[in-house]
């Protein structure tokens, strides 16, 4: 995976964004009570326990990682709304914590989760087309499989799929940090978004609440820009345990370093440099998880 590919080259500049019909900042949606409600709502969707070795007997965290990387590639290739991928991963984790699947079913499950998450969070009246998703699996699943599993996932999750992602917390947290005018908030947001996507691939972050992960990723993004010292405020805002947030931040930073090392082993790049252009789409030739010998 190309490093930090959450950075997106947008066809519309920020100035033209309003004219193109993008929603401007709405103060009503940034109020403190919105943050409080979101903190309360996220508990509803929490994955509470390690499902490997309890519910799942065949799957390993490595297999989860492979299917997650494939899902992220599909989302990037389709320029999906940022929240689609982590939301799909949260469905996948919730499903896997109640229902055992075999490794041959994992990509099908991931595809169904992507289909659902895109319907919930893509703008407009359409999610990712089902036949396109089948195409991305190199036709290793059928449309009927996908429809059946969409229903199966909905049923196991009790249709409770509105979900909360770490992305949802970013504007609510960032407006409450005393960052000052010199800090490029858009850049902090983009870096935090990238870290959130990277973290969603990794089973080690599953047990963090979206708000904790958001706070950890914001702190990591700020630290990367040389801005430290916001942890107390982030702790206060998310009401997360300070040690827990510290651990999450350390884990995010380790993950970012590891991703950099894996992406450019011979190159010393500063950790927060955005890529100059989007990598060529690789998701059209997907890693078929079924063909991987675990």
Partner 1 sequence: MSAESSSSSSSNSPTSVANMNNVSALFQTAKKYEELNVIGTGAYGTVYKARDLHNGGQIVAMKKVKVPLTQDGIPLSTLREIALLRQLEAYKHPNIVRLLDVCHGGQPLDREQLVLFLVFEHVEQDLDCYLKRAPGPLSENRIRSMSFDILSGVDFLHSHRIVHRDIKPHNLLVTSSGRVKLADFGLAKTYDTDMKLTSVVVTIWYRPPEVLLCLSYNTAVDVWSCGCVLAELHLRSPLLPAATDTQQLQRIFRLIGRPSEREWPADCSLPLASFPPCPAADLRALLPRAHPQAIHLIQNMLVFDPAKRLTALDCLQHPYFTDNPNL
- Which residues of the chain form contacts with partner 1 (CB under 8 A)? 18-26, 28-31, 33-34, 37-38, 41, 44, 55, 81-83, 98-102, 105, 109, 115-116, 119-121, 123-127, 129-130, 144, 146-152, 154-156, 158-163, 167-168, 171
Provide the minimum distance between the beta carbon of 71 and partner 1 in the complex, in angstroms, as a whole number.
17
Nearer to partner 1 (CB atom), residue 176 or residue 246:
176
Structure tokens at 126: 């359409």
When the beta carbons of 162 and 264 are compared against partner 1, the nearer one is 162
Question: Measured between alpha carbons, how far is 272 from 239 in angstroms, rounded to an integer?
Answer: 27
Which residue's CB is nearer to partner 1, number 123 or number 280? 123
Rounded Cα gap, residues 36 and 214, in angstroms: 15
Quick one: CA torsion of 31, 37, 39, 40, rounded to 10 degrees? 170
State in angstroms the smallest separation of the CB of 187 from partner 1. Answer: 14
Tokens for 231, please give them.
Answer: 């942890």
The DSSP code sequence of 103-145 is: GGGHHHHHHHHHHHHHHHHSSTT--S-HHHHHHHTTTSS-HHH
Shortest separation between residue 27's beta carbon and partner 1, angstroms: 8
Compute CA 20 distance to the chain's CA centroid, rounded to the nearest angstrom: 25
**Using CA atoms, how far apart are residues 193 and 217, in angstroms rounded to an integer?**
8
Q: Which is nearer to partner 1, 8 or 278 (CB)?
A: 8
As measured in angstroms, the least distance from the Cβ of 79 to partner 1 is 10
Q: CB 81 → partner 1: shortest distance, Å? A: 7
Nearer to partner 1, 65 or 156 (CB): 156
For residue 7, the SS3 value is coil
């Amino acid at each position: 995976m190309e490093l930090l590919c959450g950075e997106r080259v947008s066809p519309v500049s920020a100035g033209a964004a309003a004219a193109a019909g993008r929603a401007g900042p709405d103060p009503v949606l940034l109020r403190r009570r919105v943050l409080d409600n979101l903190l309360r709502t996220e508990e509803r969707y929490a994955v509470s326990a390690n499902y490997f070795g309890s519910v799942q007997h065949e799957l390993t965290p490595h297999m989860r990682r492979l299917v997650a990387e494939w899902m992220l590639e599909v989302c990037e290739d389709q320029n999906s709304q940022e929240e689609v991928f982590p939301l799909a991963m949260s469905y996948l984790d919730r499903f896997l914590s109640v229902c055992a699947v075999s490794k041959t079913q994992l990509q099908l499950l991931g595809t169904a989760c992507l289909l659902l998450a895109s319907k919930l969070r893509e703008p407009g009246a359409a999610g990712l087309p089902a036949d396109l998703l089948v195409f991305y699996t190199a036709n290793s699943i059928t449309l009927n499989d996908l429809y059946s599993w969409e229903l199966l996932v909905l049923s196991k999750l009790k249709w409770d799929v509105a979900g909360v992602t770490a992305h949802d917390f970013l504007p609510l947290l960032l407006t409450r940090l005393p960052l000052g005018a010199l800090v490029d908030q858009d850049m902090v947001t983009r870096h935090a978004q990238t870290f959130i996507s990277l973290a969603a691939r990794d089973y080690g972050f599953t047990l963090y609440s979206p708000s904790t992960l958001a706070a950890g990723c914001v702190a990591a993004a700020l630290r990367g820009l040389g801005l430290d010292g916001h942890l107390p405020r982030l702790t206060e805002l998310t009401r997360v345990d300070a040690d827990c947030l510290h651990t999450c931040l350390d884990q995010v930073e380790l993950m970012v370093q590891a991703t950099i090392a894996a992406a450019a082993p011979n190159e010393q790049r500063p950790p927060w440099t955005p890529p100059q252009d989007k990598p060529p789409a690789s998701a059209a030739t997907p890693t078929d998880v079924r063909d991987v010998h675990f």
